[in-house]
Amino acid sequence: MKSKNLFSRKGLKSFRSFLRNRSTSAEVALWEILKSRKLDGRKFRRQYSIDKYIVDFCCPLEKLIIELDGNPHGEYHRIQRDEKRDKYIESLGFTVLRFENRIVFQEPEFIKYEIRKFINKEKELI
């Protein structure tokens, strides 16, 4: 029996491309921090699909997802949907870090610190 391909599903390729081409200013700013292995040599992907979901940023090596939340995520129904989505993604062994869009602009060093804290936490356990 073949296992179901959960990652970078071909059926979502055009939608992922659509999202990348219409990134928010916060996504563009965070991508500048993450792209080309700029953050501790880790490779991040943007608009990466995991099963039926598309995440903002993913570091497959660390099993780390980074999501940026703007105003739409403050709505109650959206928060519930995000929680359900996060639980599913976490059930696959990923960790989801969420930041508000404004933090990307106001505190970019905080975001880098939080990502590094997660990456280095794994090393501390060894």
End-to-end alpha-carbon separation of the chain, Å? 35
Instruction: Give the pLDDT confidence score for residue 126 in this predicted structure.
Output: 46
CATH domain 10-124 topology: Endonuclease; Chain A (3.40.960)
Instruction: Give the pLDDT confidence score for residue 2 in this predicted structure.
Output: 39
Q: What is the mean pLDDT of each run of 10 residues along the chain (126 residues)?
A: 56 61 88 96 94 92 94 71 94 96 96 95 58
Pairing state between β 95-100 and 64-69: parallel
What is d(CA 33, CA 113) in angstroms, rounded to the nearest whole number?
A: 12
Instruction: Give the pLDDT confidence score for residue 27 in this predicted structure.
Output: 94
Domain spans in the chain, listed from the N-terminal domain onward: 10-124
Handedness of CA 110, 112, 113, 114 (dihedral sign): positive
